[in-house]
Structure 1
Amino acid sequence: MKLRTRKGAVRAASLALTGALLTGCGLSSGSAVPLEVEPGEIQPVPELQGVSFTVGSKAFTEQIVLGYIAEFALSAAGADVRDLTNIVGSSTARNALVSDQIDVMWEYTGTSWVSYNGNEEPIPDARQQYEAVRKQDLAKNGVAWTAVDYNVDNTYAFALNREAAQRYGIDRISEIPEVLAEHPEAGTFCVDTEFANRNDGLPGVEEAYGFKADPSKIKVLTEGSIYQATADGTCTFGEVFTTDGRIQALDLHVLEDDKKFFPRYNIGITTRDELLKRYPQLGDVFAKVSAKLDNQELMKMNAQVDVEGRDPADVAREWMAEKGLVKTPGEQ
């Protein structure tokens, strides 16, 4: 997703540098947290006072907002926090975590289950999916999970603009084969690079639902471009995330995943097992955040960045202050 911030070219240059460091000789030490916070519901934790944590995130809006939320939470708890949000590519971000280049990152259970651990069959039940991910990640990768949030499920979906949905009379993914058979012109799909190739993406959907998209009609776009392309009718079916604020802003019609193909993508904090054992208080800090996050809250924050053009750090801090998790400097 394209990130629009008040920092303009300076911010863009900084992100480009981060990407270069990630693919070159390793990560930099990160930058300072962009905004200050004071303790609110999240109070200083003696065991975390002055301890250095580098927070990472992937390079799309929701992850960047969540990354800043993690940074502000740790800052309020008294930790010394470094910012390495906006890492390009899920695998790159994950490798940064397991190789000690970042210490904390919000992750999605479905991504870990399918993409990092190589499982082909998702587990429909959210709690069972999380427990399976937690055990496998710990045993295979030394990655520990904490503060899982079952109220957030940012899974994949297909959406159409309202006019196309009404024209083809489609509400469920299982109806795509019939639509493609009766209306060949409808067979255009807009997806991002990862979704086009991941087995929890388009190839898996095609197999599960019994259709095959014409490769010449698959348009690979950046994540941020897909929503507008779907709204404009450039493609009939667009890959979307269910917590993205542009779904409502652009009045997109989301298809029901009636065969429950897509895994659950509940969020949780991931860190290295040795780090969580050393600082188990991390779980308590982030549990306060998880208790206040749900799909609607994330959708609102995502929309403020992607639709209104606000800076994700401002959005994250404002949300945390509104929820009483932190205070802004000078707030009584």
Structure 2
Amino acid sequence: MKRALAGLTAAVATLALAACGGGSDPLTPAATTTGAPGGSPAPAGTITVGSANFPESTLLAEIYAAALEDKGITVERKLNIGSRETYYPGLLDGSIDLIPEYTGVLLTHLGDQSGASESDAVYKALQTALPPELTVLEQSAAENKDAVVVTKATADERGLKSIADLAKSDDVVFGGPPEFQKRADGIPGLQEKYGLKIKEYKSLDVGGPLTVDALKTGAVLAADLFTTDPAITANGFVVLEDPESNFAAQNVVPLANKAKATPEVAEVLNGISAKLTTEALIELNGKLNAPEKPDAAKVAQEWLTSVGLLS
């Protein structure tokens, strides 16, 4: 078991490194860096693009970066930083200028009490809740929500269709990233809205192979996965309905330092949001998860080219 877990951990590390744009691929910019935010803000003419520590976020950051560079804007990368709790302070201190975000979870992080759950309402509330030094540009139609997921066997055996059904069980071993255990729309939200009883919480990865394997092997009964994760369809997992809207709309949106969000930058990023759909995200995640594990920068440039956003 220890050897198996070690192998899975190594796989996660390898995926993270690939998503960070490492290696000698000519499409990988030399300015790419990884790690926690901090340090001095970038010069006035430079945009520092960051990402969270999961492949989709890194891919979106590479899409933003490549499109900006195509317009002659100087870009530095700080990819695979970590969770929102880690990278958000970097946006406030200016060491990060731009990061792909998700409207609903960002609104929750900001402590909003409006109860907004639909896409337009969440976006409007987010614009009000942000501190004055930050702004969101136009949101995309692409949505990637957290979801409570079980295997089909578990759903059939227990008659599970919604999170409310799961809450009838008192033996729930739940798996997900460490931060999900404490976030307002994580376990606390599920307990408040559904009365979900957790027998044990297992800290795994951010919708990655550890979480998927834990579901497949029965190490957890339910888990937090992203709705754009191709592993859901590939493994026949069941996404439980969320009738109480614990997970608000989570549209992809660029979150930026207001001082760096010039009209030129806004035009580039809004152009990306206009083209990005949920279906495109699922397809892109599938490409990232292909056996050859392509570099995120390469996948980003291929998509930008396919939708006519590169010169």
**Superposed pair shares fold, TM > 0.5:** yes
2:114 & 2:191 partners in 1: Cα distance? 15
RMSD: 2.7
Change (3 A) 1:241 1:6: closer
Matched residue, 1:73: 67
1:273 & 1:10 partners in 2: Cα distance? 27
Deviation for aligned residue 1:298: 0.8
Matched residue, 1:293: 276
- Of 60-69 and 296-305, more deviation after overlay is shown by 296-305
- Contact (CA 8 Å) 1:69, 1:317: kept in 2 or not? yes
User: Does the residue aligned with 2:308 lie in a helix, a strand or coil?
Assistant: coil
Among 239, 260, 267, the alignment partner of 2:252 is: 267
The amino acid across from 2:300 in the alignment is A
Count of residue pairs brought into register by the alignment: 289
The amino acid across from 1:63 in the alignment is S
2:19 & 2:104 partners in 1: Cα distance? 33
Among 157, 161, 172, the alignment partner of 1:167 is: 157
1:200-219 aligned at under 5 Å gives the runs 200-214=185-199, 217-219=200-202
Q: Which runs of 5+ in 1 are unaligned?
A: 31-49, 328-332
User: Does the residue aligned with 1:208 lie in a helix, a strand or coil?
Assistant: helix
2:34 & 2:42 partners in 1: Cα distance? 10
User: Does the residue aligned with 2:34 lie in a helix, a strand or coil?
Assistant: helix
Change (3 A) 1:5 1:108: closer
Larger radius of gyration between Structure 1 and Structure 2: 1
2:221 & 2:16 partners in 1: Cα distance? 30
Matched residue, 2:119: 126
**Identical counterparts, % of pairs:** 27
- Contact (CA 8 Å) 1:56, 1:102: kept in 2 or not? yes
Instruction: Tell me if 1:282 matches 2:274.
Output: no
Among 204, 215, 231, the alignment partner of 1:230 is: 215
Q: TM-score, normalised by structure 1?
A: 0.79
User: Does the residue aligned with 1:148 lie in a helix, a strand or coil?
Assistant: coil
Deviation for aligned residue 1:11: 3.8
1:251-262 aligned at under 5 Å gives the runs 251-262=236-247
Matched residue, 1:322: 306
1:71 & 1:143 partners in 2: Cα distance? 18
Change (3 A) 1:255 1:88: same
1:254 & 1:7 partners in 2: Cα distance? 28
Change (3 A) 1:27 1:280: same
The amino acid across from 2:134 in the alignment is V
Instruction: Tell me if 1:158 matches 2:143.
Output: no
Q: TM-score, normalised by structure 2?
A: 0.84
Q: Which runs of 5+ in 2 are unaligned?
A: 1-11, 24-29
